[in-house]
Each structure stands twice: as structure tokens, then as C-alpha cells.
Amino acid sequence: MAERILKNIRIGGLKNAVKGNDYRKEATISYAILIGGYILLQVLSAAGIVGHNLQGQFVPICVYVSLAVSLNLVVGISGELSLGHAGFMAVGAFSGILMSRVLLQSMTFEPLILIISMLFGAFMASIAGFIIGIPILGLRGDYLAIVTLAFGEIIRNFMNVLYFGFVDGKLKFAFNHTIEGIEDTDRIITGAIGATGTKTMASFTWGLLLCLFTVFIVLNLKNSKQGRAIMSIRDNRIAGESIGLDVRKYKLMAFVVSAALAGMAGCLFGLNYSTLVPVKFNFNTSVLILVFVVLGGVGNIWGGIIAATLLTILPETFRQFADYRMLTYAIVLILVMICTYNPAIKSRITALWNKVKPKKKDNGPGGKPRKKKAGKEAA
């Protein structure tokens, strides 16, 4: 029986069938881009080709790459649109800064402080993601996007009224008014003024490690039973339920892991500047991260890495045009949308790509080379 079915499949044709995702290839490309990019930028800056301004952008580039990868977990792998990523970044940044200041009271070994702060930032962001995720993950599509947008703004506004500082060596906090009897140097977070007096610890190498870690987690998750459950719910919710997958649980899982990774990246971002204002984490930043994801290809991890790098470097190198940055983003987004979703243009691009692409000997699934005739008939 099996023989006959196999024969049928060969006749019915796997010729139109498409190979699935190759996880190993995807991981190799992603790590190669990250490490290659790191070495390239280090060499260029050592040779003095890269300017001082751009060198200051190295950590933010890493942070944005990491954010693009973690947002891809929600947008690409879970298939839901989230517009509140900057909110989780903010939670991670401010809680990480807070932790680093507390740890600095008793410790001097910076790498350990940085790691603990980042883990704390990730933890706090995951809690925020969990609390937000529970009520909203019953929503889908546009509705979810709008609610995440609102929550992102709520988090930022919450930061606007948050005060933290040391009074007589004790950590104190307040809402919506300054802490009494506080010295200027003991302030950690001062409402809308943000975090001040942060000891900067971030470096390009830490940035690279962050990116590698994020890519490692996201790619591993994608190729695990949890990742498969998340992707299958994206592909077909009803069928997912019919084979016993808890839809809410796995949507929440993707959301929380993504928030935790964003918190971690946010913490590194926070520890890169001595002062950091909450306004930095507004809606524009969320959209910026989404632009990286969309430009790199939704669900494509290494595409997001390249997009985030280019879109952070380019405005920096062409500083004189920086005013037109948002305009450029809009145009780039529109062009990408048209090119990837317009069937006519898409088929032209594929045809062009097929001409350029080096030809391989194409063996059919039966192990025998396919006949040319069959291919023509299909066309």
C-alpha cells in the first residue's frame, strides 16, 4: 500500500512542494553575520575609518539588533502584531539601572554587576509582559496591536512619575513627587528627568554577547516543542486546539519571552548612558523596532539583524540628512510592502533571482533527476 501511495505522490508531484525551514542554516547565517559584523566594525574603528560618532552608536546598534530579534518572536513566530516593545525595553532599562546602582554600593566587579542587572531587567520586563499579556492575549490582529500600543505608552508614563533614590544609604521610592531630604548625587530615577548619574558599563563586546544570547534563545525556542506549538497556533488556531494545544498559554509564552529579552536589551541600553529620559521609549521607538522586523522580513531572524544595523548606521553616516530619517523610513517601509506583497512585482523579482542564482543539479525526492518535460508542463 505504501508503495502505491508513494507512487501517487510522485505522480501528483512534489515538484511544486517547497522545502521547510532549515534551522541549522538559519543559525549559522545569523551567528556569522553577528560575529563577522563585530570583527568588521572593530577592525574599521581600529583603522580609524569609522568616526567617533558612529563608534558611539555601536552599543545602540547591538541593542536594536537584539530588540529586532526578540520582537520577531512575537511578530514573526507567534504571528501577532505588538506595538509596545519599547515599553518592555523601558522596564528593563530602569530596573536594570536601579539594580546596578544598588549593587555598586557593595560590589566593584563590573561584569558581574552588569550581568545581574541585565537578568534583573529581563525578570522585571517578563513580569510586565505577563501582567499585560494575560488580559490582552484573547485579542487578535489589529485589536492586539492597538492594546499593546496603549500599554507601551502606559509603561512610559508610569516611568514619568517614578522616583527612586538613596536616603541615608537606604533605597526609597515615591510616586509623583520628589523624595524628601535627598541629595542630588543620590538620585537614581527622577520622574520625567529620568535616570541620572548612571555608571556606564556597556561596551561593544557586551552588545555582541547580548545579540548572540538573544539569537541563541530565539532560534532554540523556534526549534523546540514550545516553538512548534507557537508556530502551529499561528498557522491554524483551530487545528492547534484540536490536537490539544492551549492557545493562550503559548501565545503568552512567546509574549513573555520576547518581553524578557527586550528588558535585557533595554538594560544594556540604559547602562550605556549616564542619563536616560523615559521619553526615549516612546511610540516612535516601538515603531522603529517594528520597521527593523518588517524590513528584514517578518520571521526572518538574520534579515532583522541586517535591517537593524543598516537603519542605525545609515542615519549616523549621513548625519546631514538626519532630518529626513523618518521620511526615509516611511518610504522604505512602503517600498518593502509593495515589493514583498505585490504578486506581480514579487514574481518579477523571483524570476530575476532565478536567472542570477547559480544553478544546481535538482534531484527529485525519488532520488532521480527530474525530467525537464515535467517541469514545463507544470509551468
Partner 1 sequence: MADYKKEKGDALYEISDPGHAYENRQEIYYNDNVGGRAVFVDSKEQYGSDEPYDDSVYIPEKDRDKAPILEVKGLGIDFGGLTAVDNFNLALGRTEIGGLIGPNGAGKTTIFNMLTKVYEPTRGEIFFDGKSTKGMNTVDINKAGMARTFQNIRLFDKLTVEENIKVALHHTTNYGLIDGMLHTPKYRHEEFRIRKEAMKYLKIFGMTKTADYRAGSLPYGAQRRLEIMRALATKPKLLLLDEPAAGMNPSETSELMETIKEIRDRFQIGVFLIEHDMSLVMGICEGIVVLNYGRTIAKGSAKDIQSNPKVIEAYLGKSRGKMEEEEKNEDIEEALSKGKLESAPSGKPDRKEDE
Interface residues with partner 1 (CB under 8 A) are: 1-6, 8-9, 12-14, 16-21, 217, 220-221, 224-229, 231-232, 234-236, 238-246, 253, 257, 365-366
Q: Which is nearer to partner 1, 21 or 350 (CB)?
A: 21
Burial 90-108 (b: 16+ CB within 10 A, else e): bbbbbbbbbbbbbbeeeee
Q: Which is nearer to partner 1, 69 or 231 (CB)?
A: 231
Spatial distance between the Cα atoms of 71 and 129, rounded to a whole number of angstroms: 13
Q: Which is nearer to partner 1, 257 or 306 (CB)?
A: 257
Spatial distance between the Cα atoms of 289 and 276, rounded to a whole number of angstroms: 19
Q: Which is nearer to partner 1, 83 or 217 (CB)?
A: 217
Spatial distance between the Cα atoms of 165 and 172, rounded to a whole number of angstroms: 5
Give the strand order in the sheet containing 187-190.
170-175, 162-167, 187-190, 194-195
Contact 252, 118 (CB under 8 A): no
Spatial distance between the Cα atoms of 303 and 307, rounded to a whole number of angstroms: 6
What are the residues facing 174 on neighbouring strands?
A: 163
CB of 24 to partner 1, least distance (A): 12
Q: Which is nearer to partner 1, 1 or 351 (CB)?
A: 1
CB of 151 to partner 1, least distance (A): 23
Contact 206, 17 (CB under 8 A): no
What are the residues facing 170 on neighbouring strands?
A: 167
Cell of 193: 528627568
Q: Which is nearer to partner 1, 225 or 357 (CB)?
A: 225
* Count of beta carbons in the 10 Å neighbourhood of residue 222: 22
CB of 13 to partner 1, least distance (A): 6
Contact 71, 305 (CB under 8 A): no
Q: Which is nearer to partner 1, 157 or 232 (CB)?
A: 232
Q: Which is nearer to partner 1, 17 or 154 (CB)?
A: 17
Mutual orientation of helices 283-296 and 85-104 as an angle, nearest 10°? 110
Q: Which is nearer to partner 1, 317 or 363 (CB)?
A: 363
User: Does residue 172 sit in helix, strand or coil?
Assistant: strand
Type of residue numbered 340: T
Type of residue numbered 260: A
Q: Give the residue among 198, 176, 9 at the shortest CA–CA distance from 95.
A: 198
CB of 314 to partner 1, least distance (A): 31
CB of 188 to partner 1, least distance (A): 31
Contact 88, 266 (CB under 8 A): yes
Q: Which is nearer to partner 1, 231 or 287 (CB)?
A: 231
- Residue 146 to residues 82, 126, 129, Cα–Cα distance (Å): 8, 20, 15
CB of 245 to partner 1, least distance (A): 6
Give 83-107 as a DSSP string: --HHHHHHHHHHHHHHHHHHHHTT-
CB of 294 to partner 1, least distance (A): 18
